[in-house]
Structure formats: structure tokens, C-alpha cells
Amino acid sequence: MSESIDHLRDTFRATGRRWTSQRRLILGVLEESDIHLDAETLFVRAKARDSDISLATVYRTLGVLKEMGLVEEHSLGEEHAHFEAVRDQPHYHFVCLGCGRVIEFDAPQMAQIEQSVSKREGVCVTDIHLRLSGYCARCQETMGGQCGDQE
């Protein structure tokens, strides 16, 4: 999502998709809030600027952007999906069960894991979802430091 809006317009055109005001708006919202949003939040922020936009359009646009490889869908909490603009290198998520904070991290060891599974099982891996959950430093403090024994 770091490429210019003009370049995106061309990408849309090149794939026979239309460059509509709603799609521009949704891309704008995604661009300026580079965190993980759910569809509802994205909808609210878009609606603040164009009160006529509908939630269905948000979902349909997110579907198109996924097809185009511009956004990824994650199930960060267990509930509803979150979306994020695709970045250069892959990265993974830690989700705090206390405050919901999301921390991103890289894990070079994933390449080994992927390789060894591919070789051992003869499969071909196209996608990796890794999510750690637990408690962030701040939430551990407010809980008294015991970790792992809460359920």
C-alpha cells in the first residue's frame, strides 16, 4: 500500500476493474491507518467521509483487494476477521489476551519449518498463518506477573 494512488489506479484498470470513488476511499482509509482493522471499523471510518457508502461495498472491495494481493485477511481474535495491507516481507502476530494489542514480529525459523514439512509430507506450502497469544508486558504487570497459570 506504499505505492502511489495513481499506480493503484493503473493496476485496477489493467485488470479490467473500475476505479470508483468508493474503492479510492477504502484504499485511503487503509493507507492512513496501517494497523489491523476489521471490516466494521473500516466501514465506520469510510462512512465518516462518505455517508452513503455501504458495508456490503466494504466487504466486496476487501474481497477484490485480497484477489489483487493488496490486503491479507487474518483471524486475530477468534471472532471476526481483520485485514491488513500487504507489506514486503512476511510477518506474524502476537495478540495480547488482556488488552487486545497486536505485536508484529518476524521469525526466520519459519522457513526451516516450512521446508521440513514440505519435504517430509510432500506438500507445497502457499501460505503461513502464525499467531501467538498471551499477555503483553503491560498486562503482566497489572496482573502481578504470574503468567501461564491464568485460564
Partner DNA sequence: GTCCATGCAAACTGTTTGCACGCGC
Partner DNA sequence: GCGCGTGCAAACAGTTTGCATGGAC
Distance from C-alpha of 75 to C-alpha of 38, rounded to nearest angstrom: 10
| Binding positions for DNA, rule: CB under 7 A | 12-13, 16-23, 38-40, 50, 52-57, 59-61, 63-64, 79-81
Contact with a second copy (CB under 8 A) among 15, 33, 142, 150: 150
Measured from the CB atom, is 55 or 68 closer to a second copy?
Answer: 68
The piece of 2-10, 36-44, 50-58, 94-102 that touches a second copy (CB under 8 A) is 94-102
106, 69 Cβ separation under 8 angstroms: no
The residues near 85 (Cβ < 8 Å, ≥ 6 apart) are 1, 30, 31, 34, 70, 71
Give helix 39-49 / helix 55-67 axis angle, nearest 10°: 120
Measured from the CB atom, is 44 or 136 closer to a second copy?
Answer: 136
Residues 42-81 that bind a second copy (CB under 8 A): 67, 69, 73, 75, 78, 81
The piece of 12-20, 38-46, 52-60, 90-98 that touches a second copy (CB under 8 A) is 90-98
Cβ count near 101 (within 10 Å): 14
Amino acid, res. 72: E
